[in-house]
Amino acid sequence: MRGGEQELRAGLKALQLELGDAQITGLLDFLDLIGKWTKVYNLTAVRDPAEMMTHHLLDSLSAIGPLLRHLQKAGLERGARLLDVGSGAGLPGVVIAICCPAVAVTCVDTVAKKAAFIKQVALALKLPNLTGLHARVETITQPFDVICSRAFASLHDFTQWSVGALAPQGVWMAMKGKHPADEIAALPAGVEVFHVEQLVVPGLAAERCMVWMRPHKPG
């Protein structure tokens, strides 16, 4: 068994996620690639393999269940477009691409090396549903069904910067630490929060939650 595999499988069990062996291998390969690239390009501040497993991989995996439930409710389980904003090392975008083959994932970052890393991951892990994009999110106009971010910016800035890329029935999915009551209160009138759910990350004692938002339709 590979290093980290036992912990990953235990984490998946705790999250009630069923993945195939090829997907589990893909997630471990992805973690290896982050480690290799970080030595040269400083992709992430977290460098300890055990910490990378909890803070990066399992943390991102905690979003999969809620995302799948949303896609099913929205009738998008056979195909959806997702934009991961400020994706960095591809967290959670690459993890979503590995776990959800029916979701076309675009990871956008303003740092060219980070976008190049995503392109390399797509090639190395043979993920046809993964795209790396070097751009500012404000310049994206193609429509996405879900726009997600993880520890990216305030909810206000996240929604305002990416609103041009949201499909008519699209939603925002923001991964946060503690319940961001102040950020929710600061949202503009055109954005409504329709669900906040607690996330439990195996092996991580810190608080995590997911904030779901959509454009507010008056009346």
Q: Is the dihedral of CA 129, 82, 67, 34 positive or negative?
A: positive
pLDDT tens readout for residues 53-103: 888 899 999 999 999 999 999 999 899 999 999 988 999 999 999 999 999
Q: How far is CA 44 from the centre of its chain?
A: 15
Average pLDDT, the chain: 94
Selection from 67, 94, 85, 99 nearest residue 151 by Cα: 85
Question: What band does 152 get if pLDDT is binned at 50, 70 and 90?
Answer: confident
Q: Where are the domains of the chain?
A: 5-215
Q: Which residue has the tokens 């992430």?
A: 44
SS (H, E, C) the chain: CCCCHHHHHHHHHHCCCCCCHHHHHHHHHHHHHHHHHHHHHCCCCCCCHHHHHHHHHHHHHCCHHHHHHHHHHCCCCCCEEEEEECCCCCCCHHHHHHHCCCEEEEEEECCHHHHHHHHHHHHHCCCCCEEEEECCHHHCCCCEEEEEEECCCCHHHHHHHHHHHEEEEEEEEEEECCCCHHHHHCCCCCEEEEEEEEECCCCCCCCEEEEEEEECCCC
Instruction: Please state, for a pLDDT cut of 70, what percent of the chain lies above it.
Output: 97
What CATH code would you report for 5-215? 3.40.50.150
What is the mean pLDDT of the segment spanning 139-147?
Answer: 97
pTM of the model: 0.96
Residue 219, pLDDT above cutoff 70: no
pLDDT of residue 9: 97
By residue count, the chain amounts to 219
pLDDT tens readout for residues 2-13: 889 999 999 999
